[in-house]
Structure 1
Amino acid sequence: MALMAFAVFFLGYRYYSRFLAERLFQLSPDYRTPARRYEDSVDFVPTNKFILWGHHFTSVAGAAPIIGPAIAMIWGWGPALAWVLIGTVFMAGIHDFGTLWASVRNRGQSVGVIARNVISPRALMLFLLIIFFLLLMVNAVFAVAIGTLFSTFPESVLPYWLQIPIAITIGVLVYRHNWHILLPSLAGLILLLFLVYAGTLAPLGLPEQMGGYSSTAWWVLIMLGYGAIASRLPVWLLLQPRDFINSHLLFICLALVYLGVFIGQPEIVAPMYNTAVPDDAPPLLPLLFVTIACGAISGFHGLVSSGTSSKQLAHETDARFVGYLGSTGEGLLAVAAILATAAGFATVGDWNEHYGSWAEASSQGIAAFVEGAGNHVNQLGIPVEVATTFMSMMVVAFAATTLDTSMRLQRFILGEIGRQYRMPALGNINFATVLVFLSCAALAFFADPSNPGAGGMVLWPLFGTTNQLTAGLSLLVLTLILWHLKRPIIYSLVPFLFVGVMTIWSMIINIGTYLREGNMLLVVIGGLIFVLNIWLILEGINAVRQKRDPSELLDTDND
């Protein structure tokens, strides 16, 4: 399984991404990117492609490519692995790469604003609303995921919070004192690894109950507060240096997991195709394709590509390395999650117990990965307590990176809405940040009335569906750009049609489930997103008949 994944991803990057770069997107080394044209040392910052790849990779990775495959294992490892490989190479690659390229050629604008130029003025508001709801769910889901990890693995608390001052120190040394980033980041990584061991000796946690709320609920509030503050800081101060450390951390994590697999040769106890799926589990078709979103194709990636990465791309030709290889790296993480949950259990009985119900698989997806990956790493002679702390720290670090990136993007979206519709308050950075915090906290606490703040994983199916709908809409915008430029559209059209059909089908199933459960909040949110999505697709179909000057779609001015 591991060797096949390596081979498929290598061939995809080596050949398919080169074809996209040279023939479809026609990248130019002479084009002056928005990062250079509008450099402001806050959002527009020309960045070395390796550093930017670290930021992009860690921003899109998060916990989603771990949670999704871990849950989807309930149908067996065969469907999960097939979707990750095919989705990464032929769908995520062109989606992530394409939205980065389109944003760079549109002055670093988000894919929502690009939709206005390509489709219609109405498309802007429709897309912005869908993106806002997606980011709202990303923040709520990831905050709950981190809170659950802190409560389950208190050993990860110390290394995570001490990572922040380490990253800030690196940012100051590199961007204010002109140090080369390699040595400070390696020193920070070594210090972080020491802190992982220290965390096993000094686990930290909150009381199980405070003020009527669980420790997980309090961690959710703390993480949302942290994300709001971090999203206000310049990208060079915390986001970039921490992401660079985290990219090293992920490399080590993946290397240890895969080495553990090759050396320990654990037995795969999960079925290739599960013929005894629990009664409460939804159907594999179409839910597999939204349960595994990140790790195959994810609309959130397009928001990162067009929201932050496009503003830091120093050379247009770097887009292939940052965009396509970033999605490939996430595919490797998703495969690692499949390996951890397919062969990380001691016996078939242990696996069956964990996947005995959909509710159990959903709520314990991260824990299954952490424990399974820890068991693989233990094959290398590393104590299992240290291994599981290392894995939990890695998941928390990436989830937190996605959290503050997403809250930054959500603030950008509010600012764009304010500029377009003359609501200047939304463009105020402080007001927008507070509004983002309050809306995310409200969703995290009210999505599951039976378990306020701690039961947010009920959002996962809706998050996955909305995520994929956003990916489909981004592919629609990319297809229309290529159509008007008279370039081949088959490479983006087929992924758009497949993702569109599967996610609309899934949304209908989700809304029906929420209706039966009486969860009217999610019925309303899901129904609104569904209507906005169909409306935007109809606008896109109408845009096919319109003739557009290529200069309206791509910026060719290098002055």
Structure 2
Amino acid sequence: MKMSVVLPVVLLCALALFALSFLMSVPSAILLLVFGFCLWAVGYRYYSAWLAAKVMCLDAGRETPACKINDGRDYVPTNKYVLFGHQFAAIAGAGPLIGPVLAAQWGFMPGLLWIVLGAVIAGATHDFVVLVLSVRQGGLSIAEIARKEISTPTGRVMSLAIFLIMVLTLAGLSIAVVNALKGSPWGTVTVGLTIPIAFLMGFWMFHFRPGKIGEASLIGVILLFVATWLGSIVPGTEFAKYFTYSEQTMKILLPTYAFFASVLPVWMLLLPRDYLSSYMKIGVAVAIALGVLIAHPMLQMPPFTKFISGGGPIIPGPLFPYLFITIACGAISGFHCMVGTGTTPKMLSCETDARFIGYGAMIMESFVAALALIAACVLPVGDYFAINTAPAVFQKLGMHTQQVAYISQLVGENLVGRPGGAVSLAAGIAYIFDNVPFLTGMMGYWYHFIIMFEAMFILSAVDAGTRVGRYLLQEFLGIFVPKFKDIHWNFGIVLTGFLVSFFWGYLLYSGNVSTIWPMFGASNQLLACLALLIATTEILRRTRKISYSLVTMIPGAFMVTITFTAAWMNFANIFLPMAQKGNVAGVINAFLSILLLAMGIWVLFDSIRVWLKILSGSDAVKSTSD
């Protein structure tokens, strides 16, 4: 290995270790970011370059599905920066914002290590590799790739598991959007205006001024600022009542929007809206980072708390395995493989862009997750737990609040007893901004702005996820009715888009999804480990090198251990006792936990069977470049 590579890697890793060691005695938020930036730089600049050149062998001359098919609806060659915006906006849902906030109950150190190391070694590798696999197989879903790489039965098992997880995840993500937008004219106006702005950008980039990405970006950013300003002045005016919707109304509007986003040509609404949202997401993330650098807040949460062995008031389980399923997006997430084998591979114009889009977007999401962890940990410990637990639970902790009453007064809302992570995240970010010179006295503004920002952040994952769900349903129904596999059949496109929107919309409207929420983390991470197993199979078959396959095999083995343990603990310790008492929610959760665990075991053993055949030389080499 060249000294020009070894030296910077060693120096960056040494600086990361230096920052980490000082964090134990000087809990500065700046040191936390230094640790992260050093390892993110090593991961993207050096590790991902090695993966691209040696393991995946990217070829700029290989024709991508977007260029080969180019149907103007789903397969559309797209500028790599626009596609990066879509990928980042689609994968960055509630996970990188909420998961780190909830995981702060164990202290800041466990979450920090998992967010940074998990993303560099596992999450970004997962996103990059599955994207390349899908591109080389015509934009197929991870289930179809499993069918081709492992076996037809495994492909069928994956189809059922993925669709089930997708529907549950979309309903769960949408609950966070509903809670953020209900009764909030500011959020409704701003998020709603991004839709016509997206239409304008889409037509500008693809019809009015084809290829003029800079012009469309400038127009979009200016109009986004206007939309944010308009949203901020609506509350308190006579127009507010027209944009103040109840919870049930929002539960109808969201799946309706998602349906149209899933069936309209991708360049018309979904792609430009995600690209536009990425500007706000990245812009706010950079603003928070600058706020941390200027205000240099100290982390008031200790590195480790007494709850690492279990018994926490927010998440009752122990650090292992629950940390790794609480922080999903931000470290590694199975939802990402649905985007990476769904919308993104159908728009990639050059294979070598997969590194920037797949690995790079995940590193950006890890950065956002680290900022969310900082926002939670700069709050006084008592205030953090007072916000994230019910008042009766908080009283039993023997803790005292410090500034939560004062912050509540400034933002105009009672923040005590508001669990779920979203409120404490907004309060923490507002707390940081309030300590920046020239921004003091604006805590109420920043709090409501961040609540609106969270809704926009998550909504991008919902619309992209619904479109991916349509792809999955078309593939699955195509097994029985081949016509559904015709990507140009408008009736099939509209029908499957409607069914997916209806399925998760029904769960959202009825509220039943709240009974299944406890198993979301385990099922989502189970999908990530299954995708890593499939990726390992492809790498082994193509390269015949065990050393190369370790890049996905080791993270896959770790995730198998985590998810199988968590699924069994959920079943044995939580859902089964509930079911034995006649609780319907417990019965549903127990059944789904065992079903998904059984599916995971099937894929694991079938993958190992294929690996042994490959290593013994009895399995024919397949080309994934056709």
Would you call these one fold, judging by a TM-score over 0.5? Answer: yes
| Secondary structure of the corresponding residue to residue 539 of structure 1 | helix
- 1:349 equivalenced with 2:420 (yes/no): no
* Kept in 2: contact 1:29–1:316 (CA 8 A): yes
Q: 2:536 corresponds to which residue?
A: 479
Any residues of structure 2 matched to 1:134-173 within 5 Å, and which? 134-151=165-182, 153-173=184-204
- 1:393 equivalenced with 2:452 (yes/no): yes
Deviations 1:26-56 (A, max 9, x none): 1111111111111111111111111111111
Please identify, of 26-35 and 370-379, the stretch whose mean Cα deviation from structure 2 is larger.
370-379
Q: 1:98 corresponds to which residue?
A: 129
TM-score by length of 2: 0.82
From the superposition, tell whether residues 371 and 245 of structure 1 become closer, same or farther in structure 2 (CA, over 3 Å).
Answer: same
Structure 1 runs not aligned, ≥5 long: 447-451
Q: CA deviation at 1:205?
A: 6.9
| Secondary structure of the corresponding residue to residue 231 of structure 1 | helix
* Kept in 2: contact 1:96–1:301 (CA 8 A): yes
Match of 1:503 among 545, 563, 568: 563
- 1:403 equivalenced with 2:462 (yes/no): yes
Amino acid at match of 2:435: Q
Identity rate, percent: 30
Match of 2:421 among 365, 374, 390: 365
CA–CA distance in 2 between the matches of 1:504 and 1:88? Answer: 20
| Secondary structure of the corresponding residue to residue 208 of structure 2 | coil
Q: CA deviation at 1:102?
A: 0.7
Q: 1:443 corresponds to which residue?
A: 507
Any residues of structure 2 matched to 1:128-277 within 5 Å, and which? 128-151=159-182, 153-179=184-210, 180-203=212-235, 204=240, 215-276=246-307
Q: CA deviation at 1:206?
A: 8.8
Q: CA deviation at 1:445?
A: 4.6
Q: 1:461 corresponds to which residue?
A: 518
* Kept in 2: contact 1:57–1:327 (CA 8 A): yes
- 1:549 equivalenced with 2:585 (yes/no): no
Q: CA deviation at 1:378?
A: 3.2
> Which is bigger in relative contact order (C-alpha 8 A, separation at least 6)?
1
Any residues of structure 2 matched to 1:51-90 within 5 Å, and which? 51-90=82-121
CA–CA distance in 1 between the matches of 2:55 and 2:206? Answer: 35
* Kept in 2: contact 1:504–1:530 (CA 8 A): yes
Please identify, of 226-235 and 189-198, the stretch whose mean Cα deviation from structure 2 is larger.
189-198
Q: 1:417 corresponds to which residue?
A: 476
CA–CA distance in 2 between the matches of 1:415 and 1:152? Answer: 36
Q: Which has the larger radius of gyration?
A: 2
Please identify, of 172-181 and 107-116, the stretch whose mean Cα deviation from structure 2 is larger.
172-181
From the superposition, tell whether residues 61 and 482 of structure 1 become closer, same or farther in structure 2 (CA, over 3 Å).
Answer: same
From the superposition, tell whether residues 470 and 553 of structure 1 become closer, same or farther in structure 2 (CA, over 3 Å).
Answer: farther
From the superposition, tell whether residues 524 and 206 of structure 1 become closer, same or farther in structure 2 (CA, over 3 Å).
Answer: farther
Q: CA deviation at 1:299?
A: 1.0
Deviations 1:216-271 (A, max 9, x none): 34322321221112111111011121122112111210111111111112232222
- 1:113 equivalenced with 2:159 (yes/no): no
* Kept in 1: contact 2:65–2:345 (CA 8 A): yes
Q: CA deviation at 1:507?
A: 0.9
| Secondary structure of the corresponding residue to residue 47 of structure 2 | helix
| Secondary structure of the corresponding residue to residue 531 of structure 1 | helix
* Kept in 1: contact 2:188–2:243 (CA 8 A): no
CA–CA distance in 1 between the matches of 2:608 and 2:228? Answer: 52
Q: CA deviation at 1:355?
A: 4.2
- 1:514 equivalenced with 2:575 (yes/no): yes
Count, aligned residues: 541
From the superposition, tell whether residues 515 and 186 of structure 1 become closer, same or farther in structure 2 (CA, over 3 Å).
Answer: farther
Which aligned runs of 4 or more in structure 1 are off by greater than 6 angstroms? 205-208, 357-362
Please identify, of 39-48 and 259-268, the stretch whose mean Cα deviation from structure 2 is larger.
259-268
CA–CA distance in 2 between the matches of 1:553 and 1:443? Answer: 41
Q: CA deviation at 1:376?
A: 1.9
What is the alpha-carbon root mean square deviation over aligned residues? 2.3
CA–CA distance in 1 between the matches of 2:363 and 2:417? Answer: 26
CA–CA distance in 2 between the matches of 1:136 and 1:106? Answer: 25
Please identify, of 460-469 and 84-93, the stretch whose mean Cα deviation from structure 2 is larger.
460-469
Q: CA deviation at 1:147?
A: 0.4
Q: CA deviation at 1:14?
A: 0.6
| Secondary structure of the corresponding residue to residue 176 of structure 1 | helix
Match of 2:552 among 492, 510, 513: 492
Deviations 1:159-204 (A, max 9, x none): 0001110111111111111251222222222222232233232235
Please identify, of 197-206 and 241-250, the stretch whose mean Cα deviation from structure 2 is larger.
197-206
